[in-house]
Amino acid sequence: MSVLEGINSKALKTGDLPPPSPSPNTFRIYSMRFCPAAQRALIYASVKKIPSEVININLQQKPDWYFTKNYKGQVPTLEHAEGKKLVIESAVIPEYLDDIFPETKILPSDPYEKVQQKLLLERLSDQLTPAFGRVFRAIKNPEELKEKFESILKAFEEAESLLEGAFYSGTSSPGFVDYLIYPSFQRVYWLTFLLEIFPLPSDNFPGPGYPKLSQWFKAITAIPEVAAASQSTENGVGSCKEYMKGLPYFDYGL
Amino acid sequence: MSVLSGLNTKVVKNGDPAPAPPASGTIRIYNMRYCPWAQRALIFASLKKIPTEVINIHLDQKPDWFFTKHYKGQVPALEHDEGKKIVIESAVIPEYLDDIYPEPRIIPTDHYEKVQQKLLLDRISGQLSSAFYGVVQAAKISDLLKEKLVELAKAYDTAEELLTGDFYSGTSKPGFVDYLIYPNIQRAFWTSHIIKDFPLKVESFPGPNYPKLSKWYKRLDSIPEVIATSQPTETAVEFFKSWIIGAPNFDYGL
């Protein structure tokens, strides 16, 4: 049973009324169903079994009140303590959740191991996120696409070499880096269904060129708490197609 | 007596041999004397009175071995435990130092207050540094400069607005944000001596448009442990002149 309530509720937009403050002991996450950054917070809440209320935001027609939750108007935002506490930033919220719910701590306690996990996440994200963004933005212009693929492949080569064992946690079970970098890989996986010329295969993604990553992706995808925080491939791919047509996609599949 | 040895040593460059691992009980910080990001690590080490060996790196002719300390070849990098532990990133190193040398602790222990300090630093630092480097890059292209100076003034408007008390720590003493944002603001002070029509004034920097920030800057500027990490204005201004024209003299003043 998923702890994430409202993950597939319709996105709130300009003109919609602000929700009432979260009730005591309720954690609220402002999200967008297909946003990889927001999914990090959802995965962490899910894995840590924190009962959470999800409110989706239309990122093209943001409600004015949403800027009182996040001054940048971005997702994710965590709201709790009856609305008195707000935390933003997709790599900061998980660390905060580990601090206030230490029994289900995911980050290592050792200061050096902890800091290395945070630096590793930053290193992987710094390559994957812009590489994906470049491809995604070029998706309507096929002639530009092929040159953008190179940065994706380079990012995957680096990701493969940095994966020394089964997981980026350096242990036998997934950790902070694995959970938080997974959404970025999933988005590239969706691209493999969208673009026939995409250089990575859908089957056993990301394919024989990345043997460790292929096993890793399969293992993380199979985790129920991660699946509960994710959108299906069908809806993910469908939302990308709507985006390619310039159509609103936030409520795709609802 | 400063705990920082080697702060004003000449830069190490390509072809210079790798140093021996730091001695037990000593941390090493790879630095460049005028780098605001590296100064963050120095300030924290100074305040916490950690015996520290400083090695300065030539940032245009980096030694090959330096990339084993920091994969991007940037400063700061922290090396300790006789070279077995290396930590990078200017906002991560101070947090790590607070974890492994907890007295005196600078970051709040309350989880929410701690996370708010980190988010506040990200917000102010992101705005101030991008506006500042925009000005520096435009300094040679005069038609862009006026627009960049307007952006700089706006960034400082926000910094003034976000300073709700004496310090960004929200307490009667400087804290994490104050110490880590100070170097960026000092760099703007140095630059106010160089660029005509600079919106921040040299006298009582940053001037009458920023009354709270002016008091704040004066206070931070007089803390001995901060001064121990800083370069004097006279030499710094000359370095910045060399840097702005694209021929940085990293050993200026030595």
Interface of A with B in 154-193 (CB under 8 A): none
Q: Per residue in B135-153, pLDDT tens?
A: 998 987 777 898 899 999 9
Does the domain at A4-104 match CATH 3.40.718.10? Answer given as no
Q: Are B156 and B128 in contact (CB under 8 A)?
A: yes
Judge whether A85 is closer than 8 Å to chain B, CB to CB.
yes
Q: Which two tokens stand for residue A42?
A: 């959802």
Question: Phi/psi at A16 (nearest 5 deg)?
Answer: -75, 145
Of B100, B128, B160, which residue sits at a domain end? B100
- Find chain B residues with C-beta within 8 A of A115's C-beta: 87, 92, 95-96, 99
Instruction: Look at residue A138 in the predicted model and tell me its pLDDT.
Output: 85
Residue A107 scores a pLDDT above 70: yes
Element (H, E) at B55: strand B52-56
Residue B1 scores a pLDDT above 70: no
Judge whether B35 counts as a catalytic residue: yes
CA distance B88 to B96: 10
Judge whether A98 is closer than 8 Å to chain B, CB to CB.
no
Element (H, E) at A176: helix A176-194
Element (H, E) at A87: strand A85-88
Q: Which two tokens stand for residue A98?
A: 């580990």
> Do B133 and B41 share a domain, yes or no?
no
Domain-embedded: residue B77: yes
Any known ligand binding at B62?
yes
Residue in A with minimal Cα distance to B93: A115
Largest CA distance in chain A: 53
> Do B53 and B153 share a domain, yes or no?
no
Q: Per residue in B148-174, pLDDT tens?
A: 999 999 899 999 989 999 999 999 989
B45 Cα to chain A: minimum distance (Å): 17
Would you tell me the crossing angle of helices B176-192 and B92-100 to the nearest 10 degrees?
Answer: 140
Q: Per residue in A177-234, pLDDT tens?
A: 999 999 999 999 999 998 878 999 998 999 999 999 998 999 999 999 999 999 999 8
Do strands A85-88 and A52-56 pair parallel, antiparallel, or not at all (unpaired)?
unpaired
**Interface residue of A112, A118, A120, A176 to substitute, partner B, most B CBs within 10 Å:** A112
Judge whether A115 is closer than 8 Å to chain B, CB to CB.
yes
Answer whether B92 sits within 8 Å of A118, measured CB to CB.
yes
> Do B83 and B128 share a domain, yes or no?
no
Judge whether A247 is closer than 8 Å to chain B, CB to CB.
no
How many domains would you assign to chain B? 2
Interface of B with A in 122-141 (CB under 8 A): 122-123
Judge whether B111 is closer than 8 Å to chain A, CB to CB.
yes
A17 Cα to chain B: minimum distance (Å): 27
Domain-embedded: residue B251: no
Element (H, E) at A27: strand A27-31
Answer whether B119 sits within 8 Å of A122, measured CB to CB.
no
User: What CATH number should be reported for the domain whose range is A111-222?
Assistant: 1.20.1050.10
- Among A85, A95, A111, the residue with its CB nearest the CB of B112 is A85
Instruction: Look at residue B2 in the predicted model and tell me its pLDDT.
Output: 87
- Find chain B residues with C-beta within 8 A of A96's C-beta: 111-112, 115
Question: Could you tell me the CATH number of the domain that includes residue B30?
Answer: 3.40.30.10
Domain ranges across chain A: 4-104, 111-222
Q: Per residue in A22-54, pLDDT tens?
A: 988 889 999 999 999 999 999 999 999 999 999
Judge whether A82 is closer than 8 Å to chain B, CB to CB.
no
Answer whether A95 sits within 8 Å of B115, measured CB to CB.
yes
Answer whether B87 sits within 8 Å of A95, measured CB to CB.
no
The mean predicted confidence, pLDDT, of chain B is: 94
CA distance B30 to A231: 44
Answer whether B92 sits within 8 Å of A123, measured CB to CB.
no
Q: How many angstroms separate the Cα of B120 from the Cα of each of A211, A221, B153?
A: 41, 34, 19
Range of the domain at B204: 111-222
DSSP three-state, residue B22: coil
CA distance A62 to A75: 11
Q: Per residue in B99-129, pLDDT tens?
A: 999 989 899 999 999 999 999 999 999 989 9
Instruction: Look at residue A127 in the predicted model and tell me its pLDDT.
Output: 84
A92 Cα to chain B: minimum distance (Å): 7
Residues B23-51, mean pLDDT to the nearest whole number: 96
Instruction: Look at residue B225 in the predicted model and tell me its pLDDT.
Output: 95
**pLDDT confidence tier of residue A99, bands split at 50, 70 and 90:** very high
Domain-embedded: residue B152: yes
CA distance B220 to A163: 43
Residue B9, amino acid: T
Of B39, B68, B100, which residue sits at a domain end? B100
Q: Which two tokens stand for residue A129?
A: 């996120």
Q: Which two tokens stand for residue A123?
A: 């290193």
> Do B216 and B148 share a domain, yes or no?
yes
Instruction: Look at residue A1 in the predicted model and tell me its pLDDT.
Output: 63
Domain-embedded: residue B149: yes
Residues A236-253, mean pLDDT to the nearest whole number: 91
Q: Per residue in A122-168, pLDDT tens?
A: 899 998 899 988 888 787 777 778 778 988 998 998 899 999 899 99
Residue in B with minimal Cα distance to A71: B123
Judge whether B101 is closer than 8 Å to chain A, CB to CB.
no
Answer whether A87 sits within 8 Å of B88, measured CB to CB.
no
Question: Could you tell me the CATH number of the domain that includes residue B117?
Answer: 1.20.1050.10
Residue in A with minimal Cα distance to B89: A119
**pLDDT confidence tier of residue B37, bands split at 50, 70 and 90:** very high
> Do B90 and B130 share a domain, yes or no?
no
Q: Which two tokens stand for residue A90?
A: 């997709």
Element (H, E) at A80: strand A77-80
**pLDDT confidence tier of residue B31, bands split at 50, 70 and 90:** very high
CA distance B254 to B79: 25
Residue in A with minimal Cα distance to B81: A112
Instruction: Look at residue A75 in the predicted model and tell me its pLDDT.
Output: 97
Answer whether B115 sits within 8 Å of A96, measured CB to CB.
yes
CA distance A79 to A30: 8
Judge whether A89 is closer than 8 Å to chain B, CB to CB.
yes
